[in-house]
């Protein structure tokens, strides 16, 4: 699955083939097609793995968030960036999944699982589920902007956006900033 996710992140769904996955993984094409008869089956399995990994990553961060040890911008930084500041494959893969779900309904359960996990995570910094959904939408937009432009946003940028939309109440901003 690692090879599949890496190829999706590098070449998108359209550029990912079973043959390329086999080559990247160092296995035979027959091995790939034995386990995944179609490319759609391979994508579904890769996205399931990607989502499971993303949910586990959020679960690891949640205690620090709930205890006020990290701010929303620090949490976002840990979720959407590698230690070297690059956008990691799992973030690019997640965007590929969300976009692919528009045309491929069989991928929607994985998208919903990811969005629900992110929404629950962002409730730590908001006053309820509706503001958390708004926070999630902002974070997805900020992540896409950063990934597409190659420019990193700073903590002040993130705090400003949340404050502008009233999604980061002053008492929580002080507690988590």
100-141 tens-digit pLDDT: 888 888 888 888 888 888 888 888 877 767 777 777 888 888
| Residue-level pLDDT at 167 | 64
Say what the pTM is.
0.75
Query: CA 52 → CA 45, 49, 94, 113, 163, distances in Å?
Result: 11, 5, 11, 9, 31
List the chain residues with pLDDT less than 70.
82-87, 128, 167-177
């Amino acid at each position: 699955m690692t090879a599949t996710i890496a190829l999706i992140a590098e070449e998108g769904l359209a550029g990912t083939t079973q043959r390329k996955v086999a080559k990247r993984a160092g296995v035979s094409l027959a091995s790939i097609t034995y386990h995944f008869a179609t490319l759609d089956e391979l994508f579904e399995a890769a996205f399931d793995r990607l989502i499971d990994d993303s949910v586990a990553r959020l679960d690891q961060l949640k205690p620090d968030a709930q205890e006020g040890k990290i701010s929303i911008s620090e949490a976002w930084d840990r979720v959407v960036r590698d230690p070297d500041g690059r956008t990691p494959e799992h973030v690019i893969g997640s965007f590929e999944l969300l976009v692919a779900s528009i045309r491929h309904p069989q991928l929607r359960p994985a998208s919903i699982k990811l969005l629900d996990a992110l929404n629950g995570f962002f409730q730590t910094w908001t006053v309820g589920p509706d503001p958390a959904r708004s926070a999630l939408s902002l974070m997805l937009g900020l992540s896409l902007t950063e990934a597409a432009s190659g420019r990193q946003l700073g903590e002040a940028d993130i705090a400003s956006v949340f404050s502008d939309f009233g999604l980061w109440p002053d008492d929580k901003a002080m507690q988590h900033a």
